[in-house]
Chains A and B, each alone.
Chain A
Amino acid sequence: MKKHNTQIIIIGGGLAGLEAAKWLVQYHYKVVVMEQEKIAGGHVVNWHSLYPGGIRGDELINNIFLTKDSMVQILTNQRVTKVEKRDNFFWVHTSQGERLFAEAVLLTTGFKLFNAALKEELGYGIFPNVVTSAEVEQILASRMKPPWQLPPRKVAIIHCVGSRDMKAGNMYCSKVCCMAGVKTAIHFNQQYPMCKVYNFYMDLRMHGNSYEALYLKAQTEYGVQFIRGRVSELSADQYGRLVLKSEDTLLGKPLKLTVDVVVLMVGMEQRKGLVVSDRGKELAAFDGQHFYEPLNAYDDAHKTCLPGLFLGGACKGPMSATEVIVDARAAVQVIDQYLQNN
């Protein structure tokens, strides 16, 4: 059978890449996962818990490893700089100057987090107790030391940082932050029972089964206060606490609140730095200015303009972990179909 010698390269060893690799080896392909970090697992491995069920991020990644076949080869510390299409195969170039052969390439490069320091008014990088949602996940998972000494009594969670923001250059909703914000509010209450949490939101997009129920739980069981309005100024008072300025837009009044900790729900952005070329010509669609566009959003959601190059996971746009898993599995089926017919 031809399959065993057919090499597929997956670029990005996060949730999407590992999930796809797991299934492709079950179809008896030879799979190489290229990961630029020291270990595979992507963003998810640092996550304290993933909604809706609350599974730990590293547990989810480990579940994939447990069932993985020895046919998956994971190369870490390998940054891919260029994917080069030749007649009906690919050369995948790494920053070490190596070149790998592939018959099909799956991009699962995922996303990078919005640099919260760009929203200067929110004081990230200036006030130590202003942390990003990604940092809070690590703090709650005890992977990172919290910047606060005493248990916080008041916490503000600010939604949509770097999302739905024309000036930040991100005209889209990052989709997961609404739920993650509600989830984080609950986790703060669980970890610090005396804590009062305020969520500042523009809209709450509870777009899935059981999501609205979690929102209701945050309101009724944990007394989380939801304030509709964007925080537009943050400063410190004489005790080092953080003073927020916002408008309660449902009342049309300015609002001031002093808290111990501010969590910024940072959005997702496309990664830059990967070049895709077709017979020497660089393709503008992969310049990293926007999320990668598949052929269409319906029945060709994994194919690209380059036959043999496929997309999976959050490199196509913001996705939750559950969506990434579904998307990665669907990509496997499309890749198999392509290689069978090729």
Chain B
Amino acid sequence: MVKFGFSVKDNREINLDEKEPFVIEAGVVDVAEVDRCIFCGACSAVCPQLFSTGLSFRKQLLSARRGLTSELKIAAGECLMCNKCQLVCPRDINIRAIWLNLLTSNI
């Protein structure tokens, strides 16, 4: 094989043709509840872990909407379960419950 000294850079594109929005199973999460999210970032702004691990429910949910779920389970493990996010969510999403359910689900 020829050694070129470089390799083709990965494509960062979200291909919505190949990836359907990730549907969080009914039972694990109230689907209608996560559909309400307007991605305002209020939850992540008050998340203690945003400061240390970069945890962002907004980003993880939006990624899942675009079919990108690889970090979802790790993110769930980062949650401290303090529930500050739910206090500030303007669309009243029970984020702590979603993280908890994701932790115990087999996604």
Would A and B touch once assembled, by the CB under 8 A criterion?
Answer: yes
A100 within 8 Å of B (CB atoms) = no
A171 within 8 Å of B (CB atoms) = no
Contacts of A216 in B (CB 8 A): 36, 91
**CB-CB contacts of B18-41 with A at 8 A, as 1s and 0s?**
000100000000001001100100
Q: Are A248's CB and B32's CB within 8 A?
A: no
Q: Are A256's CB and B35's CB within 8 A?
A: no
Stretch at the interface among B47-55, B62-70, B77-85, B97-105: B62-70
A96 within 8 Å of B (CB atoms) = no
Q: Are A223's CB and B39's CB within 8 A?
A: no
Contacts of A250 in B (CB 8 A): 39, 58-59, 62
Contacts of A251 in B (CB 8 A): 14, 59, 62-63, 66
Q: Are A220's CB and B13's CB within 8 A?
A: no
Q: Are A258's CB and B59's CB within 8 A?
A: no
Contacts of B66 in A (CB 8 A): 248, 251, 253, 255
Given the interface contacts A248-B66, A250-B62, does A255 sit within 8 Å of B35 by beta carbon? no
Given the interface contacts A225-B65, A251-B59, A251-B62, does A257 sit within 8 Å of B17 by beta carbon? yes
Name B16's contact: one of A219, A220, A228, A256 (CB within 8 Å): A256
Q: Are A254's CB and B13's CB within 8 A?
A: yes
Q: Are A257's CB and B16's CB within 8 A?
A: yes
Contacts of B106 in A (CB 8 A): none
B12 within 8 Å of A (CB atoms) = yes
Given the interface contacts A248-B66, A250-B39, does A256 sit within 8 Å of B15 by beta carbon? yes
Given the interface contacts A220-B32, A225-B21, does A255 sit within 8 Å of B16 by beta carbon? yes
Given the interface contacts A219-B35, A219-B36, A220-B32, does A254 sit within 8 Å of B14 by beta carbon? yes
Cβ of B98 to closest chain A Cβ, rounded Å: 16
Per DSSP, chain A at the interface is strand
Contacts of A219 in B (CB 8 A): 35-36
Contacts of B13 in A (CB 8 A): 253-256
User: What CA separation (Å) do A15 and B103 show in the bound complex?
Assistant: 56
Given the interface contacts A256-B17, A258-B17, does A228 sit within 8 Å of B39 by beta carbon? yes
Contacts of A248 in B (CB 8 A): 14, 62, 66
Cβ of A236 to closest chain B Cβ, rounded Å: 14
Contacts of B39 in A (CB 8 A): 228, 250
Cβ of A126 to closest chain B Cβ, rounded Å: 21
CB-nearest residue of chain B to A258: B17
Q: Are B14's CB and A256's CB within 8 A?
A: yes
Contacts of B12 in A (CB 8 A): 253-254
User: What CA separation (Å) do A219 and B38 show in the bound complex?
Assistant: 9
List which A198-229 residues lie within 8 A (CB) of chain B. Answer: 198, 216, 219-220, 223, 225, 228
User: What CA separation (Å) do A256 and B16 show in the bound complex?
Assistant: 6
**CB-CB contacts of A299-310 with B at 8 A, as 1s and 0s?**
000000000000
Q: Are B35's CB and A220's CB within 8 A?
A: yes
User: What CA separation (Å) do A254 and B12 show in the bound complex?
Assistant: 7
Given the interface contacts A248-B62, A250-B62, does A255 sit within 8 Å of B17 by beta carbon? no
User: What CA separation (Å) do A256 and B15 show in the bound complex?
Assistant: 5
Cβ of A234 to closest chain B Cβ, rounded Å: 15
List which A309-331 residues lie within 8 A (CB) of chain B. Answer: none
Q: What 19 additional pairs, Cβ within 8 angstroms, besides A198-B16, A255-B66, A256-B15?
A: A216-B36, A216-B91, A219-B35, A219-B36, A220-B35, A220-B36, A228-B39, A248-B62, A248-B66, A250-B39, A251-B14, A253-B12, A253-B13, A253-B66, A254-B12, A255-B14, A256-B16, A257-B17, A258-B16
A residues whose Cβ falls under 8 Å from a Cβ of B: 198, 216, 219-220, 223, 225, 228, 248, 250-251, 253-258
B residues whose Cβ falls under 8 Å from a Cβ of A: 12-17, 21, 32, 35-36, 39, 58-59, 62-63, 65-66, 91
**A-B complex: 6 closest residue pairs judged by Cβ atoms:** A257-B16, A220-B35, A255-B14, A254-B13, A258-B17, A220-B32
Give 9 CB contacts A-B under 8 Å: A198-B16, A248-B14, A253-B12, A254-B14, A255-B16, A255-B66, A257-B17, A258-B16, A258-B17
